[in-house]
Amino acid sequence: MRITRIRLYEVRLPLVHRFRTSSHSKASLDHILVELTDEAGAVGWGEIASPAGPFYCSETTGTAWAVAVDFLVPRVLGAVWDRPEDAEQSWAAIRGHEFAKAGFAGAGWDLWSRQQGVALAAALGGTRARVRAGVSLGIEPTIDDLLTQVARQVAHGYHRVKLKIGPDWLLEPVRAVRTAHPDLDLHVDANAAFRPDEETIGRLAALDAYGLTMIEQPFGVRDFLGHARLQERIATPVCLDESVTDLDDLRTMIALRAGRVLNIKVSRMGGLTRARQAHDLAAAAGIPVWCGGMHEFGIGRAANVALSSLAGFSLPSDVSGSDKYYARDIVTPPVVARDGWVEVPTGPGIGHDVDRQWIQTNLLRAYDTAGSPRPTPTPIPRRPEERDLR
C-alpha cells in the first residue's frame, strides 16, 4: 500500500476528575490524532498520547507536533509498504520521540488490519476475547477522598487499583486503602519520585507489610542499579515503566534483575510492534507484563485493549472504560468495562468508529498534507490547570 494523505488533529478533552501524580496535576488532556489514507481511500487512525508537559518524559504535545510535521510526515507520505512493521522502517533513523512514532505506528496497524478485514488484536496475535482492567488513581487532597475514589472503582468491579505515591504520600494512604480493602489487588506507582538512599529503601521496604502486587518505578529513569538494589532488599516485586523505552533497556533490566514485572506502554515504546516484541522478550524471561496507559482517548485505548489480548499480559492492564476519564470519548461505541472486564473488539482494525464531529468540536489545531505542505501556525490556548508540583 502507499500512503497518499496524512492528517493530524490536536484535540483537548476535559477529565471527569482531576488527576495528580508526584510531579504534576491536570484537569484535561491534549492528544494528537493521526489519520493515514492510502491510494484506495482506506483510513487508519493512531494516537500520539504524549503529555502536555515534560514531567513523565521529555516529550510533550508540542514536541510531538513538531516532530510529526517536520520529520514523520515527510517520511510516511508516499511510502510504500506491505506490513505495518515495514512502514516503521521509514522513520528508523529518527532517534527518540517514541510517543510521536507510536501514533503513526498505530495508524499503520489500524489501516493494515482494516484492509485485511481482521481485528487489530488478531493481527497482533492476540487470543483473548476479553481482558482484565485496572484503574490508576492520582494523589487526592485527603485520605478520605482517596478512599471514596477507591470504593467507587471497586464497586464498578475493577480487578486492580493503582495508587500514585510520592515522598509525602506513601505509607498512610496505602495503609488506609489496605485496611478498607484487605483482598484488593493493589499496587503503587511513584513515577521516579524517590532517591535510592538507605532511608528511602527502608521506607519502601515497609510496604512489604501491605501485600502489594508491585512497586512501580520508584527511582530515576536510568537508575537500573538502584532498582536492582531495592529488589534485593524487598519482597514486593519492583515494576519498571519509564526506564524501559526499547528492547535494550529490557535486556538490561533482565540482566541486572532490576525488576520482576514490566509495564508495557505502547506510547513509551514507540508503537505496537516494539510493544509486542517487549511482550515476547519478557515472556521468554518469565517476567509478567501488563499494559500501562497514558489516559488515552478511545483510539489509543482500543490499541491498548488489542495488545492486552496477547497471552503474556497476565496482570490487569490500564484499559478501564472511557467513562473513567471522559464524559464523552472520540470513538463510538466508547470503550466499556463491565465488572472489570473489557471485551476485545472483533471488527476490523481497532473495532471502533471515530467521531469526527466531536474531534472538530474539541479541536485545537489541524494539519493536512492535502493542503499546505507546512502547517499554518495556530495559537494554542494555555493550560493553566496543569501545574508543576515540584
Backbone angles phi and psi of 332, in degrees to 5: -130, 135
- Computed from CA positions of residues 337, 340, 343, 349, in that sequence, does the dihedral angle turn out positive or negative? positive
Q: How far apart are CA 89 and CA 84, in angstroms?
A: 9
Nearest to 273 by CA among 107, 63, 37: 107
Active site residue 162: no
Residue 301, class by beta-carbon neighbours within 10 Å (0-12 exposed, 13-18 middle, 19+ buried)? buried
Active site residue 26: no
101, 162, 265, 324: the catalytic one is 265
The catalytic residue among 26, 162, 164, 324 is 164
- Which residues carry out catalysis? 164, 265
